[in-house]
Chains A and B, each alone.
Chain A
Amino acid sequence: MQKNKIEASGGRGSNQTFKSVPVTIQVNGRKFTCDVEPWTTLLDLLREKFELTGTKKGCDHGQCGACTVLIDGKRVNSCLTLAVMKDGAEVTTIEGLEREGILHPIQKAFIDQDAFQCGYCTPGQICSAVGLLSEGHAKTDDEIREEMSGNLCRCGAYPNILAAVKQVLQEKKVSP
């Protein structure tokens, strides 16, 4: 995305200035307050300002899912989210899933099932799977595939990603 100075001048010959807006966003339990340019996406804010580079920029158009994070517990594409619109929100990224050195069950399952190759889509896949599990709509293999369809994997690790999600669904069944 084009980098603009905070007081970039407006289009069509106007001399209007565009002010940064103060926002407070809780990321992985930590409160961040900063001024953001309204055209900054949450993805760019996380990566460039908060230096949380676990969340990946793939297509930057909502087509690949690499930028998936959880906002107030729901999975979204951070590349199509304006940071200013999320003032007061709670964001969870891949960096915020482990607790005191213990991996989130879905992170562990991705390792157990060898659910990644190059790893670029993995943070988005994992955040998306966390969203899927809390939504609770997917039970069968086909439903899991459908509900994970917003995350592309160019290495084609899909069968193992499916196995990882199933592993956690099974674990949940055993110990709810």
Chain B
Amino acid sequence: MNPFQFERSSSSSEAILRMGKNSRAKFIGGGTNLIDLMKEGVESSDFLLDVNHVGMNEVLELPGGRIRIGASVTNSDAAYSGLVEERFPLLRDAILAGASPQLRNMATCGGNLLQRTRCYYFYDLATACNKRENGSGCDAIAGNNRIHALFGASDACIAVHPSDMCVALATLNAEIHVLGPNGPRVIRIADFHRLPGNDPTRDNTLSRDELIIAIELPPSPLNHHYHYAKVRDRSSYAFALISAAVGMNLEAGKIQSASIAMGGVAHKPWRDSRAEKLLIGKRPEIRVFRDFSEAFFKSARGLGHNNFKIELGKRTLVRALEEASLK
């Protein structure tokens, strides 16, 4: 790791002021991703500002059935909080599918949103990577692209977002509350992460001097029939090759509403609201789920090594929908 200065911030507004004064400064939460990347030399900073002690460490109930998860709540504390377990069990399952118990005890929910890709070329300084250094090229495109994107990739980057938590947040239409020099703003989860386009260095739409304060979840009708499916190379403690966060509302044997996001397939959790409409008013049957998954993957494009993820993705979707409907 390169040497750096360290300070513990005592308030979010002070943290934002400090960040504005040093263009090489970074916020640090749990540090599980940042420290790792700094050891690898992928990330560097000369000033780390600890934002774990600025009063963002609670899961709260808000009026109207909403809940608010403070940005520095750890992944474990969020997953096992009574409010999340009871009202958003899909989010609990997704969080617990990620990382290891030790890492979940350290990693924060704000930091989870900001996780960088696990593309091996991003981590390997000897290779070209536009996400590390824009303009250097992408060795993944013609290289080993087994874990890479099926949707929304560009000529500059084919990386995927690695989070499990964020896939469930996408299904649940979470809102990301941030604070910046110009005050607070709210970013819908769908608009938080971005596609790589011609600037893969930017994973999301947050400015560098904006701080994530909290994740808010609106009340959801999807919490009885839900399922998080994750397919990975080993049975635990690995990033998703494919994941699916599914929630549906069933009444009188028919699907009233459905929300489906997939992980491991794009630079952001991937949803297809047009395909989702195909489910409305239908009976929860395998045939319906198969039609849906065909529609969802219609625009998927394999890169060679990852072609298997298209069929794997379709089957994972059908399985997740089936599990959700039977719950």
| A residues whose Cβ falls under 8 Å from a Cβ of B | 1-2, 4, 8-12, 14, 16, 18-19, 21, 37-39, 41, 60-62, 65, 68, 74-77, 80-82, 84-85, 87, 128, 131-132, 135, 137, 145-147, 149-151
Closest B residue to A135 by CB, please name it.
B101
CA–CA, A67 to B32, complex, Å?
A: 14
Give the number of chain B interface residues (Cβ < 8 Å).
32
A63 to chain B, nearest CB (A): 8
**CB of B1 closer than 8 Å to a CB of A:** yes
- Report A101 CB to chain B, min CB distance, Å: 29
Cβ contact within 8 Å between A19 and B5: yes
Those 6 A-B pairs whose CB atoms lie nearest each other, nearest first: A150-B100, A38-B6, A149-B236, A149-B237, A8-B3, A18-B3
28 A-B pairs with CB atoms under 8 Å apart are A2-B1, A4-B3, A8-B3, A10-B2, A12-B46, A14-B46, A16-B5, A18-B4, A37-B3, A38-B48, A39-B1, A61-B36, A61-B39, A62-B32, A62-B103, A75-B102, A75-B105, A76-B105, A76-B106, A77-B102, A80-B32, A81-B106, A82-B35, A85-B6, A85-B31, A85-B52, A128-B101, A147-B101
Tell me, in angstroms, the Cα distance from A18 to B102 when the chains sit together.
Answer: 30
User: Is B293 part of the contact surface with A, judged by Cβ < 8 Å?
Assistant: no
A-B contact count (CB 8 A): 105
B90-118 interface mask toward A, CB cutoff 8 Å, 1 = contact, 0 = none? 00000000011111011000000000000
Contact A149 B100 (CB under 8 A): yes
Q: Which residues of A contact B8 (CB under 8 A)?
A: 85, 87
Residues of B at the A interface (CB closer than 8 Å) are 1-6, 8, 24, 28, 31-32, 35-36, 38-40, 44, 46, 48, 50, 52, 76, 80, 99-103, 105-106, 236-237
